[in-house]
Structure 1
């Protein structure tokens, strides 16, 4: 699969809240760095992180754009509550080896009624 197709399939798994399928899109030693949080390293840690996130809040990713440039795909997204963000995915041999995401964590926590850290 090319990077654009990997990200499109990733979005489908994300919208099913399917942490196992999501994890399978990552290489064994992948890193996922959501800039509002710390970096998560390794497929198993990424799987655990998605499980935690799906247990904490109902999330939906509405694709606005997916761009592809070589081994990279860029996802612009929004959710039904109005939050917007973007993600950068470095994909080699059909697997995500690095992901970085930008979104407003404070808005997300408020929208979902989650505790705001001090």
Structure 2
């Protein structure tokens, strides 16, 4: 389905409450690269995050706002056991990892929204 990564996540995990910590990235890519970017994100980048201790899952979204020119088109919500996961050496290694399509065709064309990515911790329910 592409909603969750990994796709083989159990129903229990897929339907679980939101994680204690999130890293949220909001980004846009040129329309001509969207298919390639989405495929590289799903096939090259997201599998790498599974290797990070404390990483739970990712959920990806596409904007449905009526004024898309004012919003980043894509949002990825990485769910983690702690905000510290995003500061770990393993996270940094994945962020810098070289993958074929991502690094040669799409990453330079991607634009993050101001303040993105952001790391958040759950405040309610505690």
Q: TM-score, normalised by structure 1?
A: 0.31
The structure showing larger relative contact order (alpha-carbon pairs under 8 Å, at least 6 residues apart) is: 2
Higher helix share: 2
Higher strand share: 1
Higher-Rg member (1/2): 2
